[in-house]
Amino acid sequence: MVIPASPVWFITGCSTGFGRDLAQLVLNRGWPAVVTARGRDRVADLVEGHTEALALDLDVTDQAQIGEAVSAAQAKFGRIDVLVNNAGYGYQATAEEGEEVEIRAQFDTNVFGLFALTRAVLPIMRAQRSGNIVNFTSVAGLVGFPGSGYYAASKHAVEGWSDALLAEVGPLGISVTCVEPGPFRTDWAGRSLRQTPSTIEDYADTAISRMEGTRAYSGTQAGDPVRAGEAIIAAVQQDTPPRHLVLGRFGYDAVTAKLRDRLTSIEATRELSMGADFPDG
């Protein structure tokens, strides 16, 4: 993978959290960047003094805004080298009590908005025969936790789509990396987490306990978002950027344990699996 000495970054969700810290790191390196948020006034301070920066309004659920933002980026810089799909939020509920309007709103942002923006940027990267697509998912994109089933489903969707995307665009010189953070000190729980409280006592020791703990834990997480941003930049600069970038010790341990367990479970049913073919197959 060949990237320019001064790659052009396009980052969503830069008003707070991972997006803001990553944008600051990119700009501090003197690299050109498109910094977006739902209200560019929320990122005006980030781009102040950076002549090679562009602050834009972008709600990823608004198709018209996506088109305008990508066109503005191309008009100013002529290319997009790194697309960071960071915009998104959390939703917690038991599987039984999830609310339809909340579930669909979550998917509109975390999944369909990400898909739409990537589709808009791909023609530019195809023409360049180069580019890096960085999709923020979560440890929950690989591991399901009680109380977070719908959030996990949105992140699993992006993971599966990213596998297919890489198979299509990898031969064109475009890499795809999913960033999978564990708990990080970004105020995610206090700022962008929605919850549907459970009223079913049967879930007290599973979903309810975890939902209560998520907010209580906010502000004490082990993960450092600035160090996470540095790791993302380092990964993108590799000759072959990784397909997965799990961030934080909790995340690394949880994901590797889950994958080992999954492989063991699949191998345990090998005879049943192989026996499902036609005998003459």
How does DSSP assign 215-246, residue by residue?
A: HHHTT--SB-HHHHHHHHHHHHTSSS--SEEE
Which domains can be identified in the chain, with CATH numbers?
9-268 (3.40.50.720)
Sheet containing 82-85: order of strands: 53-57, 33-37, 9-11, 82-85, 131-136, 174-181, 244-247
CA angle 56, 115, 249 (to 5 degrees): 90
Contacts of 274 (CB under 8 A, 6+ apart): none
Helices (H), the chain: 17-28, 44-47, 63-77, 100-107, 114-128, 149-169, 188-191, 209-217, 225-236, 249-268, 270-274
pLDDT, one tens digit for every residue, the chain (281 residues): 567 789 999 999 999 899 999 999 999 999 999 999 999 999 999 999 999 999 999 999 999 999 999 999 999 999 999 999 999 999 999 999 999 999 999 999 999 999 999 999 999 999 999 999 999 999 999 999 999 999 999 999 999 999 999 999 999 999 999 999 987 777 665 567 899 999 999 999 999 999 998 876 766 677 789 999 999 999 999 999 999 999 999 999 999 999 999 999 999 999 999 999 999 86
| Pair of tokens at residue 275 | 């026996």
Contacts of 43 (CB under 8 A, 6+ apart): 14, 15, 20, 23, 35, 36, 37, 55
The label of the residue with tokens 């309810």 reads 208
Ramachandran category for residue 159: left, alpha or beta (phi over 0 → left; psi -120 to 50 → alpha): alpha
Beta bridge partners of 9: 33, 82
Closest CA to 247 of 180, 185, 202: 180
Q: Which of 151, 203, 217, 252 is catalytic?
A: 151
d(CA 275, CA 13): 48
The predicted pLDDT at position 213 comes to: 84
The predicted pLDDT at position 108 comes to: 98
| Pair of tokens at residue 160 | 């599966």
| 252 part of the active site | no
| Pair of tokens at residue 93 | 């509920």
Whole-structure pTM value: 0.94
The predicted pLDDT at position 176 comes to: 98
Report the relative pairing of strands 193-195 and 90-92 from DSSP bridges: parallel
